[in-house]
Amino acid sequence: MKIALIAHDRMKDEIVRFVTAYQPVFEKHDLYATGTTGRRIMEATGLKVTRCQSGPLGGDQQIGAMIADNDMDVVIFFRDPLTPQPHEPDINALIRLCDVYKIPLATNMATAELIIHALERDELKWREFVRGHRDERE
Q: Which residues carry out catalysis?
A: 60
CB 90, CB 60: distance < 8 Å: yes
Host H or E run for residue 69:
none
d(CA 48, CA 13): 18
| DSSP designation for 30 | E
Half-sphere exposure of 47 (CA within 13 A, CB side): 28
Strands 30-33 and 74-78: unpaired
3-state SS assignment for residue 77: strand
3-state SS assignment for residue 106: strand
